[in-house]
Amino acid sequence: MTRIPFKQTCAILLLSVGLVVFLDQYTKYIVVETIRQGTVVPVIDGVFNLTLTYNKGAAFGMLSGVSDGLRQLLLGGVTALAVCVVLYFLFYDYYHDRFAQMALGFILGGAAGNVLDRIRIGEVVDFLDVYYRNYHWPAFNVADSAICIGVVFLLFRSPAKRKDLPVTEQ
């Protein structure tokens, strides 16, 4: 397969990262300006609400009970490692695949959106509340959604499924 020119790869990445960061930060701004923390705004009864919450931890509140310094160190280290892995995939495993490059941009954009919150206010703004009866999925945001969508897209574009790689039998 042919390599996509570096400028096109960067353009795809920057467009997808920029789109995710813009949508994430814009929706967070609207929610923070219009909904008070803890207020529940029903959108689809029995399934989906808007509820402003703040998350000091990682995804789904993990690490929220850890001291601030250790939490920041762990989150910063994991984020830096994730960015390095995404960039490696971008330029070595998915150099031929625009769709996968866009998916990697979604992942980087989601990470950037949440990092901006941590830098700006020290915690991440979450507001999407999906639930069924009394079970509520932990609140999340557009950045979290973009990361998940990017990962799902990549599952369908695994580098092991590329036609230019040899297939080994066991």
Three-class HEC string of the chain: CCCCCHHHHHHHHHHHHHHHHHHHHHHHHHHHHHCCCCCEEEEECCCEEEEEEEECCCHHHCCCCCCHHHHHHHHHHHHHHHHHHHHHHHHHHCCCCHHHHHHHHHHHHHHHHHHHHHHHHCCEEEEEEEEECCEECCCECHHHHHHHHHHHHHHCCCHHHCCCCCCCCC
pLDDT averaged per 10 residues in sequence order, the chain, 170 residues: 76 94 98 95 94 83 74 84 87 84 94 93 94 90 95 80 50
Domain that holds residue 58: 6-158
Does residue 103 fall inside a structural domain?
A: yes
Does residue 81 fall inside a structural domain?
A: yes
> Which one of the listed residues 24, 97, 129, 144 is annotated catalytic?
144
Does residue 123 fall inside a structural domain?
A: yes
Does residue 170 fall inside a structural domain?
A: no
Residue 159 has a pLDDT of 62
Number of domains in the chain: 1
Q: What is d(CA 107, CA 9) in angstroms, rounded to the nearest whole number?
A: 15
Does residue 30 fall inside a structural domain?
A: yes
Residue 158 has a pLDDT of 65
Which tokens in the block code for residue 70?
Answer: 């250790």
Residue 167 has a pLDDT of 45
Does residue 168 fall inside a structural domain?
A: no
pTM: 0.84
* Residue 68 annotated to the active site: no
* Residue 126 annotated to the active site: yes
Does residue 105 fall inside a structural domain?
A: yes
Does residue 79 fall inside a structural domain?
A: yes
Residue 7 has a pLDDT of 83
> Which one of the listed residues 24, 97, 117, 126 is annotated catalytic?
126
Q: What is d(CA 164, CA 96) in angstroms, rounded to the nearest whole number?
A: 11
